[in-house]
Every structure is written in C-alpha cells, then in structure tokens.
Chains A and B, each alone.
Chain A
C-alpha cells in the first residue's frame, strides 16, 4: 500500500487501492488474507523487477 501510494504521488496518478487497505474487501477472511498477501507480494515483486525509479517505500 505504501509503495502504491508513494508511486502515485511521484507519477501524479490516483489509483484506487481501497480493497488492499487494512479494512479493505480483500482481507475479509483468513483465506482472503493469504490471497491478498500473495497477490501483493507478487505485485510488489513485479514493480521492483520491471519499473525503474520507484520511490523508497517500494524498496522493502
């Protein structure tokens, strides 16, 4: 989330990431939490591997 928000700020974008907020729909159950963890981990890996000049929030 921090990475997405910081990246939006740098690029002048506004991406709806509400479902991945702490209270978002993606976290509605234990299965959902695991789903969201994996989806977010894989998405963050994709960002790190394929985009340059990411904000520091995306580094860790």
Chain B
C-alpha cells in the first residue's frame, strides 16, 4: 500500500474534500500544517483550481495528484504546480505549460504528470484505485504559496490533490460522509 492510503487515512475530510467545479474560487487552507485531500472536477477542461497555503514558519510536506484508475482516465494527465517563494525557476518546458505566469520573484515545483507508466495504487478509505503522480516532499519557506491544478489538454475528470501528513479531524469531515456516494463506491 502506498502513500495515498496513508494520506487519506490521515486526512481530515474538511471542506477541502467537497468537489469543486468552475475554477473561479480558490481554496484557502485555514491550517496548512495538517493534511488534506482536495477534490476537484474538470467539467469544462478550462478550470484552474487553486489551493492557497500560508506558512508562518518553514515547513516540509508531501504533495501528490491522483485520478481514478479507470479506462477513460488513461490519457487524463492533469498537472499541478506548487508556486511560491524559495522555489526554483522551472524549466523552459514547464514554464510553457504553466497556466499562468509565475508571480515576480517566485518559483515553482511543477509536476507534468508524465511518468510512463504511471503508478497505480489502491486507496483504502475511498475504496478506489488511483493513478498517481507519486508523492514529492517539498521544503517550503515561510510565505504564501498556491497550488495550481489544471488540465493542459482540456480533458475532463475528477482529481484529488493530497498534501500534508499530520491528521486533525477536529474540524469535522466537511459533509463527506453525507455525500459518500459521490466519493466512493
């Protein structure tokens, strides 16, 4: 069992777990020191999902992007980038694929989701098999960060961004279990 199993077991199913469509609204993470699974759906393929994280101290955490391992998702390779201070300048290819220009003075970790083949893992909470970018641990300085998630080919589908390690369910489950069939078999 790999990372998403632990991740989703450890994650607080807060508001971040509600499916998000449209791309107009950024998710502002109130507590960036705990772990989340952020669900989003590409309905038009034009969406740019943003997750905002603000750190008042240097912090290390893993990020990973998942799509369900279904036949219709085999070519669905959404990308993500962690954008903020202290991160390096992306490669020319990555810069070209970013959905927006980087803010002045900021860099990014960019995951082009181009592993071939992609790893497939079983996630035990949602009872689903996911294709994954694989987790990457990043060292973040204090400051404001955004995670961008986009579908470069305009493909449609659902994605899950997992980030963080420490669990904290004190904020509840964000209605996840009231809408369980949306998320799990």
Binding site for B on A (CB under 8 A): 4, 7-8, 13-17, 19-20, 24-26, 28-32, 34-36, 38-40, 42-43, 46-47, 50-51
Residues of chain A with a CB closer than 8 A to B165's CB:
19, 24-26
Closest A residue to B55 by CB, please name it: A16
Task: Please state if A32 and B6 are interface contacts (CB–CB under 8 Å).
Answer: yes
Task: Please state if B60 and A38 are interface contacts (CB–CB under 8 Å).
Answer: no
A16 to chain B, nearest CB (A): 5
Task: Please state if A20 and B60 are interface contacts (CB–CB under 8 Å).
Answer: yes
Q: How far is the CA of A38 from the CA of B5 in the complex (A)?
A: 14
Q: How large is the interface on B (under 10, 10 to 19, 20 to 34, 35 or more residues)?
A: 20 to 34
Task: Please state if A15 and B60 are interface contacts (CB–CB under 8 Å).
Answer: yes
Q: How far is the CA of A18 from the CA of B27 in the complex (A)?
A: 26
Q: For window 57-72 of chain B, which residues contact chain A by CB distance below 8 Å?
A: 57-62, 64
Task: Please state if A16 and B57 are interface contacts (CB–CB under 8 Å).
Answer: yes
Decide if B173 is an interface residue (CB 8 Å cutoff): no
B4 to chain A, nearest CB (A): 8
Decide if B138 is an interface residue (CB 8 Å cutoff): yes
Task: Please state if A31 and B60 are interface contacts (CB–CB under 8 Å).
Answer: no
Which secondary structure dominates chain A's binding surface? helix
Contact partner of A42 (CB less than 8 A), chosen from B4, B7, B135, is B135
- 0/1 string, B85-102, CB within 8 A of A gives 1: 000100000000000000
B185 to chain A, nearest CB (A): 20
- 0/1 string, B1-26, CB within 8 A of A gives 1: 11111110010000000000000000
Decide if B136 is an interface residue (CB 8 Å cutoff): yes
Return the 8 tightest CB-CB contacts between A and B, nearest first.
A35-B3, A15-B58, A43-B137, A39-B135, A31-B1, A39-B62, A42-B136, A50-B88
Closest A residue to B166 by CB, please name it: A25
